Structure 1
């Protein structure tokens, strides 16, 4: 069975985006950017909700061709394009860059994908991750906490009907006071 991880940047007060979908507070250091790039390189399949897909696909397919692109950005763009992706959306009609579109029930499809052979999966996007979280499908949470309070926006965690017990498996400090905490779900 494939492992499913929910990994995102979040503010200290628990948001993945500030009001107005502002992500300006989460600009990564070079070291953190490399960590994200290595994560993309190791991901067997990325699962995206529509909004995160639109954000990523508006920049990364051609980021390596932009004037002044750094070697790290060039590497990330290549890894992102090469990584197999599934977009879950009832409003998007086409996807590109090694991506498949799913318009049906996300929980059913994620359950099926977890049962397949293959490398680890990452889920991204608040709505999609919330559905997977409520269904008990997430095996690991990789939380990259930035030392900023944004006061509202899109929360990382959703309301749950039951407790989810977790075990801490890693902590790491990045420049600028950013802290990674990784937790596995105890089953």
Structure 2
């Protein structure tokens, strides 16, 4: 069985995007950006919701060819393009960049993928992750918490029907006061 990991940047008050889907507060330091890039480089499959897919696919496929692209951005763009991806959406009709589209039951497909043998896979996008979270499919949570309060927006965590008990497995501090915490679901 594969491990399903939900990992994102979030504000101290628990939001992955400010109102209006503003991500301007979450620009990572070079050190944190490299950590995310290394993570993408070892991810066997990434599951995307539509909104985050549209954000990522509008930038990263060609980011390595933009004027002023740093070596880290060039590396991340290559890794992102190479990584297999599944996009869940009922409103778009095609996807590119080593991705396939699923328009049906997201939770059933995530459960099917998770039941397969293989390396861990990431779920990215708070709305998609919320459905997997409510279904009890997430095995690990990785939070890169920024020292900023947004006061509202898109939450990292969703409302749940029951508690989810977790074990802390890693903490790390990055420049700029970002604190990374990693938790495994206690089953």
Asked if these proteins are the same fold (TM beyond 0.5), I'd say yes
Aligned-partner SS, 2:141: strand
Point out where structure 1 has 5 or more consecutive residues left out of the alignment: none
CA–CA separation in structure 2 for the residues paired with 1:91 and 1:119: 29
TM-score (norm 1): 0.99
1:140 is the counterpart of 2:140: yes
Q: Aligned-pair distance for 1:117?
A: 2.1
1:35 and 2:35 aligned: yes
**Counterpart in 2 of 1:167?**
167
Name the CA distance, whole Å, in 2 between partners of 1:68 and 1:125.
Answer: 28
- The structural deviation recorded for 1:126 is 1.3
Residue 170 of structure 1: how far off its partner (Å): 0.1
1:16 equivalent in structure 2: 16
CA distance in structure 2 between the aligned counterparts of 1:126 and 1:101, rounded to whole angstroms: 18
Residue matched to 1:60:
60
Structure 2 Cα separation of the partners of residues 162 and 117 of structure 1: 28
Show CA shifts across 1:63-101 (max 9, x none): 000011100000000000000000000001110010000
Residue 88 of structure 2 corresponds to 88
TM-score w.r.t. the length of structure 2 is 0.99
Question: How many equivalent pairs are there?
Answer: 187
| Structure 1 CA distance for aligned equivalents of residues 13 and 62 of structure 2 | 33
- The structural deviation recorded for 1:148 is 0.2
Partner of 2:101: 101
Superposed counterparts of 1:68-83, under 5 Å: 68-83=68-83
Consecutive unaligned residues of structure 2, counting only runs of 5 or more, are none
SS at match of 1:56: helix
Distance 1:166 1:73 in 2: 33
Structure 2 distance, partners of 1:27, 1:127, is 21
Instruction: Give the distance between the partners of 2:106 and 2:95, measured in 1 at CA.
Output: 17
SS at match of 1:72: helix
